[in-house]
């Protein structure tokens, strides 16, 4: 029985010591599924790191070993030897600015709701700092120099009893085993570190040892103090924990591993098996990330930006204006991009000439290799644009061998482009008025051009489905194709400019010298005004002179007056272009000159129609017998009969006031 009793007692004792030994040692190699109690901003990351401060400023974080430990064998007994080992790392968000730090501690409670953030390590506050009833022992890792707490620097380790003011301090570092030299260690240098805290019951000696992560425990501790923890720790159980605190500047405190032993050394941890710190990879990898990645990213962003800018600029460069109503003109619509490339970007090299509506460029369409002349005009308002384009395109549909073919158009912001077939021999005015022009047109060529233009104009006036008024007949709008046929260009263009405007306030469209008197008065274009300009054109071609000339004194006078005067004196053929050198068909020359005078008759109703003009030129009908005196007498008669009718202005009066009127109306 006694035997049985004693063995039972032994068994119970064994059980008790086994139970006791259960909480006299622990080891955490990473914290995944650990049973730690966390509070404040402390968390365990997915990677198994204990993150004591999640990056939020002015917050504390605590991690407690969940069960209280019996540091005394029995209540009132001495605090036993113990040993603690922590693998940790501290990171500052702003490397040049220090925040407060972290601590290992032993305390009677897990309730630190009254502790303040910042310099008290989340364990104490201003009031209870130094209070012996707190029963707190701690080892601080301090990265901020608080002068009022007698801190030595902003990178130190201290042994503290119930207070944020340390019993013993040292700049953080370690003593080398070889030679014992001191090596300092920057706590917030983003490097892993090891901390050992050892207490010996017999000698009441506290050793704090520090080392970088990649080396063994130095034999000489960083700090050594003699302090009887039996006078400090609670008479009953205590909790052990790790705390962090952050002030206004947030810092990160990571713990990778933690072990504890009572009356025995803390179990060692295999550093290579600990969770990796967020910033610790292989050296090469981090170099790659730190240098190559930002450069690559920057390059990528830069090239993307460049690409976007290029695309946008390209879009802008070739941007066009397109409206719904244009859909039906699809085939006549050219893309700006094509025109831009065709004309070499509208370079001056490709400039053919400049008129009142804009510049004309020569181009070759990229797809079809067709030679074109592109007229670039600016238009400010959209008003009337639809009517204009509609008309231009519908006119453009007409094809006649004496009209310059209009191939299409393009619209863009405030510009309108008209695309014509290129006329290799240019405009007639160059042959008539350029002194140095090698090729002078002979009479036969001139007469052919005149007949051609008359045919073209007749077509516009009478042969097409509706009456088209040219409005700007003159030598520069007569172009010569490859076979030296005269072709009328720019028909209908003037409409854009006098569309729906008040004739009294706006300037006339047309060219000085070609404007019929009634056009000047009423601003209304009609087939008669075209015939008037055609008459001027006949005189211009046969005399080789501009409709408005300057005499020796610089006074302007009119070609019509000059021709009429010569006719009066019986010297009509003297007015012919001297460059013909007398080589002309006298009948044809007389016909053209007289017809020119008849067409430019001041009375619209006295001018022939284009049908009649054609018959005279073809010789089918003889020109009505006209005499200069008769013409003049007609004028006088007209003046007499219509003197009270202000709507008709007699010829002589027109002739004298012509210059001033056309000067006022600003021919271009």
Ligand X SMILES: *[C@@H]1O[C@H](CO)[C@@H](O)[C@H](O)[C@H]1NC(C)=O
Q: Which of residues 324-353 bind ligand ATP (CB under 6 A)?
A: 352-353
Structure tokens at 93: 């968000």
Q: In what order do the strands lie in the sheet with 415-421?
A: 351-354, 358-364, 371-378, 415-421, 406-412
Question: In the stretch 592-621, what mask flags binding to ligand ATP with x, by CB under 6 A?
Answer: ------------------------------
Among the listed ranges 106-114, 418-426, 478-486, 570-578, the one in contact with ligand X (CB under 6 A) is 106-114
Chain CA centroid to CA 657, Å: 59
Which residues, 6+ apart, have CB-to-CB distance to 570 below 8 Å?
Answer: none
Per-residue contact track with Mg ion, 329 to 358, x per CB under 5 A? --------------------------x---
Residue 396 binds ligand ATP (CB under 6 A) = no
In angstroms, the first-to-last Cα distance of the chain is: 140
Binding to ligand X by residue 160, rule CB under 6 A?
no
- Considering the rule CB under 6 A, would residue 360 count as an interface residue with ligand ATP? yes
- Where in 509-538 is the site for ligand ATP (CB under 6 A)? 511
Among residues 170 and 529, whose Cβ is nearest to ligand X? Answer: 170
Q: Clarify whether 228 is annotated catalytic.
A: no
Note whether 196 binds ligand ATP by CB under 6 A. no
The footprint of ligand X on residues 301-330 (CB under 6 A) is: none
**Is residue 477 involved in binding ligand ATP (CB under 6 A)?**
yes
Alpha carbons 62 and 53: distance in angstroms, whole number: 9
Nearest CA among 660, 542, 662 for reference residue 599: 542
Give the shortest CB-169-to-ligand X separation in angstroms.
Answer: 13
522 contacts which partner out of ligand X, ligand ATP, Mg ion, none, CB within 5 to 8 A by kind? none
Phi, psi of 26 (to 5 degrees): -150, 165
d(CA 599, CA 601) in angstroms, rounded, equals: 5
C-alpha–C-alpha distance, residues 189 and 90, integer Å: 7
Rg for the chain, CA atoms, rounded: 54
Q: Between the CA of residue 368 and those of 271, 341, 363, 468, what are the distances in Å?
A: 76, 13, 12, 30
3-state secondary structure of 464: coil
Residue 423, C-beta contacts closer than 8 angstroms, at least 6 positions apart = 373, 404, 479, 480, 481, 487, 489
Q: Confirm or reject binding of residue 472 to ligand ATP (CB under 6 A).
A: yes
Q: Tell me if 121 sits within 8 A of 245, measured CB to CB.
A: yes
If we measure between CA atoms, which residue out of 418, 410, 318 comes closest to residue 361? 418
CB of 573 to Mg ion, least distance (A): 31
25, β-bridge pairs? 261
Q: What angle do CA 384, 388, 392 make, to 5 degrees?
A: 175
* Residue 355 is a binding residue for ligand ATP (CB under 6 A): yes
Q: Is 10 helix (H, G, I), strand (E, B) or coil?
A: helix
Give the interface size with ligand X as a residue count (CB under 6 A).
Answer: 20
Of 195, 256, 255, residue with least CA distance to 221: 195
Segment lying near ligand X (by CB under 6 A), choices 48-56, 158-166, 395-403, 529-537: 48-56
Do you know the residue count of the chain?
Answer: 668
Q: Does 476 help bind ligand ATP (rule: CB under 6 A)?
A: yes
C-alpha dihedral sign at 504, 506, 508, 509 = negative
The listed partner (Mg ion, ligand ATP, ligand X, none) that binds 352, CB under 5 to 8 Å by sort, is: ligand ATP
**Residue 375 among known ligand-binding residues:** yes
Which of ligand ATP, ligand X, Mg ion, none sits in contact with 56, Cβ below 5 to 8 A by type? ligand X
Based on the shown chain and the rule CB under 6 A, indicate whether residue 404 belongs to the binding site for ligand ATP.
yes
Q: How far apart are CA 85 and CA 258, in angstroms?
A: 6
Dihedral of the CA atoms 309, 315, 316, 321 (nearest 10)?
-160
Q: Among 45, 67, 204, 205, which residue sits at the site for ligand X (rule: CB under 6 A)?
A: 205
> Which of positions 210-249 make contact with ligand X (CB under 6 A)?
219-221, 224, 235
Q: Find the helix packing angle between 586-599 and 559-568, rounded to 10°.
A: 120
Q: Of 239, 262, 216, 7, nearest to 106 (Cα)?
A: 239
Among 36, 38, 41, 393, binds ligand X (CB under 6 A): 41
**Cα angle at 596 between 595 and 598, to 5 degrees?**
60
Least spacing, CB of residue 132 vs ligand X, in Å? 8
> Distance between CA 440 and CA 443 in Å, rounded?
10
One residue of 24, 167, 200, 320 binding ligand X per CB under 6 A: 200
Query: What does 360 interact with, of ligand X, Mg ion, ligand ATP, none (CB < 5 to 8 A by kind)?
Result: ligand ATP
- State the DSSP H helix or E strand holding residue 133, giving kind and residue range, or none if neither: none
| Residue 126 contacts ligand X per CB under 6 A | no
Closest distance of CB 569 from ligand ATP, Å: 34
Q: Given candidates 7, 32, 35, 184, which one binds ligand X under the rule CB under 6 A?
A: 184
Task: Please state the closest distance from residue 155 (CB atom) to ligand X, in A.
Answer: 6
Give least dist CB 479 to Mg ion, A: 8
Cα(461)–Cα(459) distance, rounded to whole angstroms?
6
Q: Which stretch binds ligand ATP (CB under 6 A): 146-154, 356-364, 448-456, 539-547?
A: 356-364
Of the candidates 142, 472, 490, 530, the residue annotated as catalytic is 472
489 is a site residue for ligand ATP (CB under 6 A)? yes
Binding-site partner at residue 221 among ligand ATP, Mg ion, ligand X, none, CB < 5 to 8 Å by type: ligand X
Which segment (11-19, 111-119, 160-168, 376-384) binds ligand X by CB under 6 A?
111-119
Alpha-carbon distance 629 to 626, whole Å? Answer: 8
Give which of ligand X, ligand ATP, Mg ion, none residue 76 binds (C-beta under 5 to 8 Å, depending on kind): ligand X
200, interface contact from ligand X, ligand ATP, Mg ion, none, CB < 5-8 Å by kind: ligand X
We find the least distance from the C-beta atom of residue 327 to ligand X, in angstroms, to be 58
Q: Segment 407-466, which members bind ligand ATP (CB under 6 A)?
A: 420, 422-423, 426-427
Binding-site sequence positions: 375
Binding-site sequence positions for ATP: 375
Residues that bind ligand ATP in the complex, under the rule CB under 6 A: 352-357, 360, 373, 375, 404, 420, 422-423, 426-427, 472, 476-477, 479, 489-490, 511
Positions marked catalytic: 472
Residues that bind Mg ion in the complex, under the rule CB under 5 A: 355, 477, 490
Residues that bind ligand X in the complex, under the rule CB under 6 A: 41, 54-56, 76, 111, 113-114, 155, 171, 184, 198, 200, 205, 207, 219-221, 224, 235
């Amino acid at each position: 029985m006694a035997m049985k009793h004693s063995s039972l007692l032994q068994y119970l004792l064994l059980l008790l010591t086994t139970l006791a030994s259960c909480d006299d040692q622990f080891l955490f190699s990473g914290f995944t599924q650990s049973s730690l109690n966390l509070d404040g901003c402390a968390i365990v990351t997915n990677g198994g790191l204990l993150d004591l401060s999640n990056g939020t400023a002015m917050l504390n974080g605590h991690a407690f070993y969940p069960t209280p430990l019996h540091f005394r064998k029995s209540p009132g007994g001495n605090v036993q030897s113990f040993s603690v080992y922590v693998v940790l790392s501290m990171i500052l968000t702003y490397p040049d600015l220090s925040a407060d730090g972290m601590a290992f501690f032993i305390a009677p409670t897990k309730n630190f709701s009254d502790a303040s953030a910042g310099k008290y390590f989340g364990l104490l506050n201003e009031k209870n700092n130094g209070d012996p009833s707190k029963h707190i022992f701690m080892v601080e890792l301090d990265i901020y120099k608080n002068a009022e707490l007698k801190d030595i620097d902003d990178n130190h380790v201290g042994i503290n009893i119930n207070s944020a003011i340390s019993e013993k301090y040292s700049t953080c570092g370690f003593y080398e085993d070889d030679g014992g030299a001191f090596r300092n260690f920057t706590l917030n240098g983003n490097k892993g570190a090891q901390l050992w805290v050892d207490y010996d019951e017999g000698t009441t000696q506290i050793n704090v040892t520090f080392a970088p992560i990649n080396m063994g425990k130095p034999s000489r501790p960083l700090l050594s103090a003699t302090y009887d923890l039996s006078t400090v720790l609670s008479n009953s159980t205590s909790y052990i924990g790790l705390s962090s605190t952050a002030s206004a500047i947030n810092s990160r405190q990571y713990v990778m591993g933690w072990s504890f032993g009572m009356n025995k050394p803390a179990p060692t941890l295999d550093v290579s098996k600990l969770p990796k710190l967020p910033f610790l990879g292989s050296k090469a990898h981090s170099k790659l990330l730190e240098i190559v990645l930002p450069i690559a990213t920057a390059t990528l962003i830069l090239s993307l930006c460049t690409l976007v800018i290029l695309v946008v600029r390209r879009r802008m460069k070739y941007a066009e204006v397109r409206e719904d109503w244009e859909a039906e003109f699809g085939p006549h619509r050219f893309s700006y991009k094509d025109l831009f490339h065709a004309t070499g970007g509208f370079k001056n090299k490709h400039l053919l000439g400049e008129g009142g509506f804009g510049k004309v460029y020569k181009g070759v369409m990229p797809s079809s290799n067709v030679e074109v002349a592109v007229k670039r005009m600016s238009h400010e308002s959209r008003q009337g644009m639809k009517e204009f384009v509609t008309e231009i395109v519908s006119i453009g549909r007409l094809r006649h061998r004496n009209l310059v073919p209009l191939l299409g158009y393009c619209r863009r912001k405030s510009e309108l482009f008209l695309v014509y077939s290129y006329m290799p021999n240019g405009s007639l005015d160059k042959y008539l008025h350029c002194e140095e022009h090698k090729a002078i047109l002979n009479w036969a060529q001139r007469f052919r051009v005149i007949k051609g233009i008359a045919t073209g104009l007749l077509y516009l006036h009478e042969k097409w489905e509706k009456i088209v008024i040219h409005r700007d007949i003159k030598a520069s709008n007569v172009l010569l194709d490859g076979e030296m046929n005269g072709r009328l260009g720019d028909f209908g263009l003037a409409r854009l400019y006098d569309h729906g405007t008040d004739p009294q306030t706006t300037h006339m469209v047309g060219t000085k010298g070609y404007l019929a008197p009634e056009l000047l008065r009423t601003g209304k274009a009609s087939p008669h005004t075209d015939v008037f300009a055609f008459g001027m054109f006949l005189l211009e071609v046969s005399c080789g002179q501009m409709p408005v000339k300057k005499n020796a004194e610089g006074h302007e006078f009119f070609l019509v007056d000059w021709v009429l005067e010569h006719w009066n004196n019986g010297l009509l053929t003297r007015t012919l272009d001297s460059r013909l050198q007398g080589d002309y068909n006298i009948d044809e020359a007389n016909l053209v000159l007289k017809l020119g005078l008849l067409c430019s008759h001041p009375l619209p109703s006295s001018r022939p129609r284009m049908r009649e003009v054609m018959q005279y030129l073809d010789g089918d009908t003889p020109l009505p017998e006209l005499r200069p005196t008769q013409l003049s007498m007609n004028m006088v008669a007209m003046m007499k009969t219509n003197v009270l009718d202000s709507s008709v202005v007699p010829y002589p009066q027109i002739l004298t006031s012509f210059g001033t009127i056309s000067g006022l109306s600003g021919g271009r």
